[in-house]
Chain A
Amino acid sequence: MSENDRHHPQQNHFCPAETMSEDEDPCRPSPPPPPPPPEPVSKKTRNCAAVHPSPHSDRVLEIVLEHVLQFLTVRRDRNAASLVCKSWYRTEALTRSDVFIGNCYSVSPARVTTRFPRVRSVVIKGRPRFADFNLMPQNWGAHFGPWVATMGKAYPLLERVYLKRMSLTDRDLCLLADSFTKFKDLVLVCCEGFGTSGLAAVASKCRQLRVLDLSDTEVLYDGVDWISCFPEGETCLESLIFDCVECPINFEALESLVVRSPALKKLRLNREVSIGQLYRLVVRAPSLTHLGTGAFGHPEPQDPNDQEMDYGSAFSACKSLVCLSGFREVMPEYLPAIHSICTNLMSLNLSYANIGVEQFKLLIQHCCRLQVLWVLDSVCDEGLQAVAATCRDLRELRVFPLNAQEDVEGPVSEVGLQAISEGCPKLESILYFCQRMTNAAVVAMSNNCPDLVVFRLCIMGRHQPDHITGAPMDEGFGAIVMNCKKLTRLAISGLLTDRAFAYIGRYGKLVRTLSVAFAGDSDTGLKYVLEGCPKLQKLEIRDSPFGDAALLSGLHHYYNMRFLWMSTCQLSQRGCEEVARALPRLAVELLSYEENEEMDNETVDVLYMYRSLQGPRDDAPQFVRIL
Chain B
Amino acid sequence: MRSFENDLNLEATELRLGLPGSSHKRPLSDHEARQDGGEEGRKTASSPKAQIVGWPPVRSYRKNSLQHKKADHEAASGIYVKVSMDGAPYLRKIDLKVYKGYPELLRALENMFKFTAGEYSEREGYKGSDYAPAYEDKDGDLMLVGDVPWEMFIASCMKLRIMKGSEAIGLGCGLQM
Interface of A toward B, CB cutoff 8 Å? 130, 132-135, 216, 218, 244, 328-329, 332, 351-352, 354-360, 376, 378-380, 382-383, 400-411, 433, 458, 460, 462, 515, 517-518, 542-543
Contacts and interface: CB of A to CB of B under 8 A. Distances in A.
A38 B49 CA distance: 62
Contacts of B70: 354, 402-403
Contact of B24 (A132, A360, A382, A410): A410
Contacts of B27: 403, 405, 407-408
B66 interface: yes
B176 interface: no
B122 to A, nearest CB: 37
B89 interface: no
Contact of A401 (B26, B51, B58, B72): B58
Contacts, number: 112
B29 interface: no
B100 interface: no
A355 B49 CA distance: 28
Interface residues of B, number: 32
A406 B48 contact: yes
A356 B21 contact: yes
Given A407-B46, A407-B49, A408-B25, A354 B19 contact: yes
A135 B49 contact: no
A297 B23 CA distance: 22
A356 B19 contact: yes
Interface in B57-85: 57-63, 65-66, 69-70, 72-73
B55 interface: yes
B71 to A, nearest CB: 11
A133 B55 contact: yes
A518 B56 CA distance: 11
Interface string B6-36: 0000000000000111111111000000000
10 contacts: A133-B55, A133-B57, A135-B53, A216-B61, A357-B21, A378-B21, A378-B22, A458-B57, A518-B55, A542-B54
Given A354-B70, A462-B52, A517 B57 contact: yes
Contacts of A460: 55-56
A458 B73 CA distance: 25
Closest 5 CB pairs of A and B: A133-B54, A356-B21, A357-B21, A356-B19, A404-B58
Nearest to B60: A134
Given A383-B21, A411-B24, A352 B65 contact: yes
A405 B22 contact: no
A192 B10 CA distance: 48
A518 B57 CA distance: 12
Contact of A351 (B19, B20, B62): B62
B59 A358 contact: no
A159 to B, nearest CB: 29
A542 B52 CA distance: 12
Contact of B54 (A134, A329, A360): A134
